[in-house]
């Protein structure tokens, strides 16, 4: 039975991946920090879809947490979903350096290390897939969060090019605003975001898996966000950053 490992698997996009992949018949390895939510999610998915669900409690902002997941990946999985992430409250100059470093640890170092841990086994078996969850923010100048997600996109494109193996698929998923716990946890005020720009997590996952099968390397769900990303290429970075901030991301 194919197995997928998902980080940040108990909420938002990660939970949507877990539901969809379990429905598709994949066994799961769920990674998150909250042991109780992990247990509840595993029990629910196991009963509903009849798949095996393993849980790993790990904080990917800590070396020990990353190492724990690295060890499990070296044992072999068929799909890795690097989804764990968070946003900091405030703009760059307002955020303590320690918090920024934790973000980079989760968004960049963990993604690098987990990808490096899983790829040798995939190459040996001659098949596998990796989805790195970035953000449409990667295409706009919005501080450390955007910078870290831009790194995820560039890293994903780079390793896909370096691999050059058609049976190992690598995709960067770049959603826009998705109705999850993400914004609440970061204490983001999103009342200015038009309803039309909110995406459903299950739809985002469906798009990602469809694009993965098609060999797409950068997936931007929804035609509206595709259009925004296309326009952003022709707008100066300082202007696009101001527009992004004004449209939807204020902080309490």
CA–CA separation, 109 and 116 (whole Å): 10
Give how far the C-alpha of residue 35 lies from the chain's centroid of Cα atoms, to the nearest Å.
20
The yes-or-no answer on residue 225 being catalytic is no
Q: What stretches of 174-251 adopt beta strand conformation (E)?
A: 177-178, 188-189, 198-199, 218-219, 250-251
Query: Residue 99: which of 19, 185, 171 has the closest Cα?
Result: 185
Q: What are phi and psi of 53, to 5 degrees?
A: -130, 115
Which one is catalytic: 92, 145, 225, 251? 145
The 3-state DSSP class for residue 178 equals strand
User: d(Cα 80, Cα 144) in Å, to the nearest integer?
Assistant: 24
If DSSP states are collapsed to H, E and C, what string results for 100-140?
HHHHHHHHHHHHHHHHHHHHHHHHHHCCEEEEEECCHHHHC
Q: Which has the closest alpha carbon to 184: 252, 110, 104, 106?
A: 252
The catalytic residues are: 145
């Amino acid at each position: 039975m194919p197995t997928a490992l998902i980080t940040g698997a108990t909420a938002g996009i990660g939970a949507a991946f877990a539901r969809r992949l379990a429905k598709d018949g994949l066994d799961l390895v769920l990674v998150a920090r909250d042991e109780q939510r992990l247990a509840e999610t595993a029990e629910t998915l196991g009963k509903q879809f009849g798949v095996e669900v393993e849980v790993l409690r790990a904080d990917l902002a800590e070396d020990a947490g990353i190492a724990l997941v690295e060890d499990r990946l070296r044992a072999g999985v068929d799909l890795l979903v690097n989804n764990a992430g968070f946003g900091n409250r405030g703009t760059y100059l307002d955020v303590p350096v320690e918090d920024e470093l934790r973000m980079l640890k989760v968004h960049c170092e963990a993604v690098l290390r987990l990808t490096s841990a899983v790829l040798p086994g995939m190459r040996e078996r001659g098949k596998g897939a990796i989805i790195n969850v970035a953000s449409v923010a990667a295409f706009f100048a919005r501080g450390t969060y955007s910078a870290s997600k831009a790194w995820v996109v560039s890293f994903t494109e780079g390793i896909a090019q370096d691999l050059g193996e058609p049976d190992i698929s690598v995709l960067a998923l770049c959603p826009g605003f998705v109705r999850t716990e993400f914004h609440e946890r970061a204490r983001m005020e999103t009342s200015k975001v038009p309803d039309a720009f909110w995406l459903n997590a299950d739809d985002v996952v469906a798009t990602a898996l469809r694009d993965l099968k098609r060999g797409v390397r950068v997936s931007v769900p929804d035609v509206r966000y595709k259009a925004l990303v296309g326009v952003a290429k022709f707008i100066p970075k300082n202007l696009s950053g101001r527009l992004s901030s004004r449209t939807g991301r204020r902080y309490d």
